[in-house]
Amino acid sequence: MFCEHLKKALRFYYITDDSSPTLEPLEQARIAIKAGAGTIQYRNKSFSSAYYDEAKAIRDICRCNGVCFIVNDNILLAKLLKADGVHLGQDDEPASAARRVLGPGAIIGISVSNMDELDKTDLSDCDYIGTGPVFATSTKKDAKKVIGLSGLQSVSEKSFLPVVAIGGIDALSAHSCFASGAAGVAAISSVSRASDPLSSALKLGAACSCSQRPAINSPWDSESGPGEFGLIENLIKDIPINSKIIVPPGDDACLLASLSNPVITTDTQREGVHFRLSWQTPEEIGIKAVEVTLSDLAACYARPVSLFINLCLPAYVSASMIEEIYKGAHKALNKYDCTLGGGNISSGSELALDLFAIGEARKDIFPKRLNAKPGYGLYCTGPLGLARAGFELLNNNDTDFPDLVLKFKLPKARFDAAHILANAGIDCVMDISDGLSGDVGHITKASQVTIELDLKSCPINPSLLLFCQKHGKIPEEIIIYGGEDYELLFACHPDTYEIIADELKTSFQVGRCLPFNGKHIISPFGTGSFQHGRKS
């Protein structure tokens, strides 16, 4: 999670109270979320398997409302629940162990009670510090010595990480904690044991400058959710109808108008592999899913006709989140005059979109990977490596290059370039999803040629250059090994390229095709490719 987003999430931090005499932890979480909390920590010192459903329900309600879900102490429980992170005490396992188990994207907090603990604590794998007790508290039986506002200020001034104040904090004392340098305040008993928990939580949320949520989203398959059929009805009610569809979604099947040269492609977008909810908004997920699926049609010079989406939905997804995904999908579909033909919904452990697209090919040309010939040049329609850099920035919580992050989040299918290539009669084309080297390998094997990569003509984006300088990487390697650029890679005679170069102003040469010499690719930077799901 990016630093600014994390600071916002930490502003109002609620910790569940498993000993509250009147309010169950799930209801506590609902109240805190309603009042504007950005983080919920599940704390249960007597946790056993009997409490698993409770923890999962709290996770689901957090995810449905965009609230960080943190597990107290238990790294393996955090892993099992796919929590956003874990909070550790001084006597728990080290943060390095949590980072190893939970991965680079996890949020890891550490308790620091005083300056001595701060000095001896390794913070290299931590994202924030919990400091206190600032005031006297009765919630924790083993609470350490009260440090007061002066102690909080000392830790805040010395720490390079955001500090969350904890211990006896309510709406009245929250202001003084912020004035003492705290990035956020954590509350327990001021909500869980208040005579009016919601009123107390709302006052605390206001003191933290957090907006009250007008409504709490529930899991799509909960009793208060729309269920499968209600959700489908909501998703298809506003689908525009045009001449491409004779029988629209809502029946057992969709009937399309007759196509002379139908082209079919599929794609998948899986949470934790292709996207993360902490990285992208639901709308961005929908946009990207459509763009990358239709990119294959662009590489075939096919006109997009209709797209079908099969959803696998975990319990922590709300109906409103799904509607936002479809909002993004419709934005991308409308851009290419493509219809939504229908789909399916099922439940699962993680969010996934399986997409199926139908297009109509041109009658005069259909490009194939096997059409590269010795003497051809190898070219690309636009910059490479930017999406890979964006992926690494997101993975390392680096906010310095938002333009690179945008290239990963929102690629574009290059139908504009495909139109130019088709009119020039270029019949060896594919989109670059697996990285330049990986996709060049597909062409060399299909065409039985050797391709020599040459990046002398390849422009290096200024942000990519700065990114590589900052992180000690070689730009050419990012360009060759990267992935998810979705530019078009094409082979043609150099004379043909000269004719279209002015129309494709962002294009450039990346290599040349040679008679096969027993080696598929010649590259000064080695050969490799981006593979979805491979751990980096």
| 530 in a structural domain | no
Same domain for 346 and 405:
no
Coil, strand, or helix at residue 262?
Answer: strand
- Residues known to be catalytic: 43, 111, 140
| Confidence bin at 469 (pLDDT 50/70/90) | very high
| Confidence bin at 227 (pLDDT 50/70/90) | low
> Which residues make Cβ contacts (< 8 Å) with residue 449, sequence separation at least 6?
372, 373, 374, 443, 513, 514, 515, 516
CATH of the domain at 40: 3.20.20.70
For residues 27-46, give the mean pLDDT: 96
In tens, the pLDDT along 169-195 reads 999 999 999 999 999 999 999 999 999
Cβ contact 418:429 at 8 Å: yes
| Assessment of whether the complete model's pTM goes beyond 0.95 | no
In tens, the pLDDT along 71-119 reads 999 999 999 999 999 999 999 999 999 999 999 889 999 999 999 999 9
Same domain for 379 and 354:
no
Which structural domain range is residue 264 located in?
A: 227-360
Same domain for 397 and 299:
no
* pLDDT score recorded for residue 245: 82
For residues 236-249, give the mean pLDDT: 73
| 535 in a structural domain | no
For residues 460-479, give the mean pLDDT: 96
β-partners of residue 453 are 511
Question: How many domains are there within the chain?
Answer: 3
Question: Of 113-117, 374-378, 495-499, which range is least confident?
Answer: 113-117
> Which residues make Cβ contacts (< 8 Å) with residue 103, sequence separation at least 6?
none
* pLDDT score recorded for residue 4: 74
| 219 in a structural domain | no
Query: Residues 19-39, buried b or exposed e (16+ Cβ, 10 A)?
Result: ebeebbbbbbbbbbbbbbbbb
User: What is the secondary structure of 263-301 as a DSSP string?
Assistant: EEEEEEEEBTTTB-TTTS-HHHHHHHHHHHHHHHHHHTT
- Of the candidates 86, 67, 90, 62, the residue with the CA atom closest to the CA atom of residue 76: 86
In tens, the pLDDT along 425-458 reads 999 999 999 999 999 999 999 999 999 999 999 9
Residue type, position 379, single letter = Y
Same domain for 153 and 86:
yes
Q: 342 in the Ramachandran plot: left (φ > 0), alpha (ψ -120 to 50) or beta?
A: left
> Which residues make Cβ contacts (< 8 Å) with residue 238, sequence separation at least 6?
none
- Of the candidates 383, 396, 517, 378, the residue with the CA atom closest to the CA atom of residue 453: 378
Q: Which of 339, 360, 381 is the last residue of a domain?
A: 360
* pLDDT score recorded for residue 211: 95
Same domain for 354 and 373:
no
**Cα-flanking dihedrals φ and ψ of residue 192, to 5°?**
-65, -25
